Every structure is written in C-alpha cells, then in structure tokens.
Amino acid sequence: MRIAVTIFLTDETVTPVRLARELERRGYAGLYLPEHTHIPVERTTPYPAGGDLPREYGRTLDPFVALGQAAAVTERLGLGTGVTLLAQHDPIALAKQIATLDHLSGGRFTLGLGYGWNVEEAADHGVEWRTRRELVRDRMRLMQALWSAEPTPYEGEFAAVRASHAHPKPVRKPRGPVTGPRTLVGGAAGPRLFAHIAEYADGWLPIGGRGLTESLPALRTAWADAGRDPSALQVVPYAVQPTPGKLAHYAELGIEEVVLQLPPAGEREVLGVLDEFGSFL
C-alpha cells in the first residue's frame, strides 16, 4: 500500500520544499494539499467537524504554487490537491495551470476535486450553491476538452470553450472517458457523487475513509453501469488518522493508496510525526 500525506501548509508551518524533500527521502508516495482562497469572517456555514474553524483554514498556501516548489526539489514524489475547489476557478486558466504542473513534474500530479463546504467563500466567487455540483462537472468537462490531443470544443450549461490549441498537455494518456491527469473526486457517498465519478474521473477521495465497506459496492455498481473497467477504479482514503487495524482493513478492501493527515505545524513537529508514520511504510 502506498502511503501519502496531506497537510494544511501555511505561512506558519514547515515549508513545501523542506517537507517534500523529507517525504521523498523517507519513501512516502505523495503530498496532497488542500485549498481555501479565503475564509469570510462573517459566515453562517458551520465547520463540518464541529466547533470553531481551525486557524490554518484562513492561512493556507496556494496549493499549485506550493506543489510547484515541491516538484522542483523532488523526482519521484506524487503531487496532488485535496481538494481543488473547481467551482471557484476560471476553468480555462486552471486547465493551463494543471497541465503545466503535470508536464513539468513528469506526470506526477493528481487532481483531487471537491465541491466545497463554505457557502460564503463560494458565494464570493459567484457560485450558486445549489448548482455547484453541475458547475464542477461542466468545468471539468471543459478542462478535459482543452487537454484533448486535438482541438475540441465544449459547450455545457455553465461553461463553454471553442476548439483551441492548448499546450502543454497532461502526461497521462486518455483512459475511458477521462482525459488529463489522474483525477479523484471527494465528497460524501451517494448516487449523484458516484455517477459523476464514473462519468469523468478515475476514482473517489473519501475524506476520513469511514463507511467504505458499505459504500464501495454502490460505487462499483455505478462504475460498472457506466461501462468502466472494474480494475481501473481507484479509491484513496484521505486525511486518515492511521492505525495498523485501519490500514489492514483498507488493504482487505483492495485499496492501494492512503493519504495520512499531518498536523499544521512547524518543521520539528511535522518531521516527528513522519517518523511515527514511518512504521506504516
């Protein structure tokens, strides 16, 4: 099983360069970074985990800039987002950004997508909350059109692009209906999420990894109904607090990669936790 990590990198934590070098040196599979552009002070959206919103949410580094630094000082480390809030981006500009990072890193990028939870943050980007899932689907399809080998137009309900020359291209070859970098969609289990995963992604990024025994059969059914290759489905539990029993259970379910949660802390504390997690490598 591949062991990757995620962390809220901020202006107060270990740096991307230092962390990436240590992860590669120690044999970790990848580094995934979350995204929040800003956190409005006045908001009614509750923090999903309960209680006060942790300080690091309002201080996160831009994940693509930070991953660019990580790519420049490593050769094998996987690089990913967990998650990119696609509804909050111009998809044409983001497609270029993603393709450039994937190209320069030699195809090491994983696009983790999410729909978001902070209504006020999304509203400042002009996002209509009730239609955000359809907006994300449209924008993902537009980006895949730009990543296609030949100029390909896309016109959807919320997004459109003319047939265009757009280089560089992501390194991975098209597989089934998916074009572009490895793409995983985060979100709570359910028929609509699983249908979208089967339509335009390589798999699921379930936060925390709970309830997989019950959820995986439904996802596999939606995947098969879409005509996708059963062996191609990827499920990557994300932001996991690990125990030997939990990881053994994931292995029994056929899961090949797990992303462990690091604290949003300085170098000394983070490297200490990497030492503790080393027993899982």
Q: What is the DSSP string of 71-135?
A: HHT-SS-EEEES-EEGGGS-HHHHHHHHHHHHHHTTS-EEEEEE--S-HHHHHHTT--GGGHHHH
**Beta bridge partner(s), residue 261:** 6
Strand pairing report for 154-155 and 160-161 = antiparallel
> Other C-beta atoms within 10 Å of 132: how many?
19
pLDDT at 241 over 90: yes
pTM across the whole model: 0.97
Per-residue pLDDT of 97-132, as tens digits, reads: 999 999 999 999 999 999 999 999 999 999 999 999
Q: Say what the pLDDT of residue 4 is.
A: 98
Q: Where does residue 154 rank: exposed (0-12), middle (13-18), buried (19+ CB within 10 A)?
A: buried
Please give the pLDDT value at position 122: 98
Query: In terms of Cα–Cα distance, which of 268, 187, 182 is closest to 4?
Result: 182
Tell me the per-residue pLDDT of 179-231, one tens digit each, with 9 for 90 and over. 999 999 999 999 999 999 999 999 999 999 889 999 999 999 999 999 999 99
Question: For residue 26, what are its two tokens?
Answer: 């120690």
* pLDDT, tens only, 153-185: 999 999 999 999 999 999 999 999 999 999 999
Which of 6-10, 134-138, 206-210, 212-216 has the weakest average pLDDT? Answer: 206-210
Q: Which tokens belong to 33?
A: 């970074």
pLDDT in tens, 54-103: 999 999 999 999 999 999 999 999 999 999 999 999 999 999 999 999 99
Residue 279 DSSP one-character state? G
Q: Is the pLDDT of residue 245 over 90?
A: yes
Instruction: With CA atoms as reference, report the closest residue to 141 among 191, 103, 86, 194.
Output: 86
- pLDDT, position 209: 87
Helix axes 267-277, 16-26, angle to 10 degrees: 20
Residues whose CB is less than 8 angstroms from the CB of residue 272 and which lie 6 or more positions away in sequence, other chains included:
none
- Tokens (6 digits) for 62: 């831009």
DSSP 3-state of 214: helix
